[in-house]
Chain A
Amino acid sequence: MRALLVRDLMLAIRAGGGFGLGLAFFLIVTVLVPFGVGPQTELLSRIAPGILWIGALLACLLSLDRILALDWEDGSLDLLATAPLPMEGIVSVKALAHWITTGLPLVLAAPVLGVLLSLPVPAYQWVVISLAVGTPALSVIGTFGAALTVGIKRGGLLMSLLVLPLYVPTLIFGAEVARRGAEGLTVQTPLLLLAGISFGVIALLPFASAAVLRINLR
């Protein structure tokens, strides 16, 4: 399993798409929003936590089809399926690799981009914390979506349609943590619920993803 993780990470780094593309997309979204709503500082700082969350979510979505599609095309997924690893392990590792290459950089980049949106000072830590807790859920749910659509040509759009509704609870609680943090309210309840979703999804969804992937490899 560790070998698989290392392999996926190496591929992502060498191909260059993993780190760079998601981050660039995140940057562009946060740059475009002020153009759309106007440059007033007080308005921007009010919506900044939400923008950062939506930007991170979209950047995550953008890189989902890389999780499985490449391995599907060159047949290494079939090889992995016949390997002694359980399928649940494979999809979990895939999700972890996706999180390390996409989710983690997003978490680290969020405070920098927060400056652009004049994010209120107390909100910085909560944006980072909520993203750190929430992005693993995004990766795991995304892996499920990628597994569902892996056999479909041009499945990217369909995958977005399937995955985005599944992202709703995570987005709501994550953005709520960041928003309440920005206003100096207590964040305990949404943060716990967000963590609950992340842990629940990490524990349970790989079984569904593995089942789906087995069906697709039949």
Chain B
Amino acid sequence: MSLWEYANPVKFIRTTDKVLPWVWALTGICLLTGLVWGFFFTPDDFRQGSTVKIIYIHVPSALMAINAWLMMLVASLIWIVRRHHVSALAARAAAPVGAVMTMIALATGAFWGQPMWGTWWAWDPRLTSFLILFLFYLGYMALWEAIENDDTAADLTSILCLVGSVFAVLSRYAVNFWNQGLHQGATLSLDKEENISDVFWLPLLVCIAGFVLLFIALVFLRTQTEIRARRTRALLAREGQA
């Protein structure tokens, strides 16, 4: 019994079918508790007022935006090295979810920045690198859509994912450098973890768990869909030949 058994599509579908209801249920519980707890039952911060409540969405979604790309990177590597189709499809399935997480992180960041920094958008290093990450997601998804042959698409997108990861890290440092060059030391970003107290930390933890579970559930579901869609195409092609 090894992990690679789940690379078998049938086995993957059977297992995830069994697991999925539980994951969905846990996702619902965690997200509901976390968000309701965060929204209704946490005190306001003495400096940030009620905007501190945005943290319960902003931080988890930003975390997942990066982790989704990391997961795609790992899945792409597995596809390149071991050529398991499920892995390539899982990477494809994760991309839109990651893009949505990036969008949420950017949008909530803008809503928080508007009253706190007095601007919707600042060319702060973190914001800029998230925007670039979003562009990477768009390109990755567009490439998947554009190529008809499934295996070619999987190969090309996984190489794009590898190269993109290197460039994403490069951009992160470049952007850091560029912004410090613009206005020295005037960082707008608050250090969020440093002086956070348990009152905020616990519901945040629950929310993070909820977002992680939601991501897992969505990726399982979407991977199943991709497997089925590919099987449908294959069967249709066979019928067309007969």
Within 8 A of B (CB), among A119-176: 144, 148-149, 151-152, 155, 158, 161-162, 164-166, 168-169, 172-173, 176
Residue of B138, B155, B163 contacting most chain A CB atoms (<10 Å):
B163
* Chain A CB within 8 A of B171 CB: yes
Would B181 and A162 count as touching, CB distance under 8 A?
A: no
Q: Which residues of A contact B178 (CB under 8 A)?
A: 172, 176
Within 8 A of B (CB), among A28-77: none
A165 to B172 alpha-carbon distance, docked (Å) = 12
Would A168 and B138 count as touching, CB distance under 8 A?
A: no
Point out the residue from A166, A176, A216 that lies within 8 Å of B181, measured CB to CB.
A176
Q: Which residues of B contact A11 (CB under 8 A)?
A: none
| A161-B139 contact, Cβ under 8 Å, with A166-B167, A215-B156 | yes
Residue of B139, B152, B160 contacting most chain A CB atoms (<10 Å):
B139
* Chain A CB within 8 A of B86 CB: no
| A165-B163 contact, Cβ under 8 Å, with A176-B177, A197-B170 | no
Q: Please classify the interface of chain A as helix (H, G, I), strand (E, B), loop, or mixed, using the class held by over half of its residues.
A: helix
A53 to B127 alpha-carbon distance, docked (Å) = 23
Would B171 and A165 count as touching, CB distance under 8 A?
A: yes
| A155-B167 contact, Cβ under 8 Å, with A165-B139, A190-B177 | no
Would B136 and A165 count as touching, CB distance under 8 A?
A: yes
* Chain B CB within 8 A of A14 CB: no
| A148-B162 contact, Cβ under 8 Å, with A161-B138, A176-B178, A216-B156 | no
Q: Which residues of B contact A173 (CB under 8 A)?
A: 174, 177
**CB proximity of A49 to chain B, nearest CB, Å:** 13
A187 to B177 alpha-carbon distance, docked (Å) = 13
Would A166 and B156 count as touching, CB distance under 8 A?
A: no
**Binary interface encoding of chain A residues 60-102 relative to chain B, with 1 for a CB under 8 A from any of its CBs, else 0:** 0000000000000000000000000000000000000000000
Would A169 and B152 count as touching, CB distance under 8 A?
A: no
A189 to B173 alpha-carbon distance, docked (Å) = 13
Extra inter-chain contacts (8) besides given A172-B175, A215-B156, CB under 8 Å:
A144-B163, A149-B146, A151-B152, A162-B143, A166-B163, A168-B175, A197-B170, A212-B156
Closest 9 CB pairs of A and B: A169-B174, A172-B174, A165-B135, A169-B170, A162-B139, A215-B155, A172-B178, A168-B171, A161-B139
- Please report A residues at the B interface, Cβ cutoff 8 Å: 144, 148-149, 151-152, 155, 158, 161-162, 164-166, 168-169, 172-173, 176, 179-180, 189-190, 193, 197, 205, 208, 211-212, 215-216, 218
23 CB < 8 A contacts A-B: A148-B159, A149-B143, A158-B143, A162-B143, A164-B135, A165-B135, A165-B136, A168-B167, A168-B175, A172-B174, A172-B177, A173-B174, A176-B178, A179-B181, A190-B181, A193-B177, A197-B170, A205-B163, A208-B159, A208-B162, A211-B159, A215-B155, A216-B152
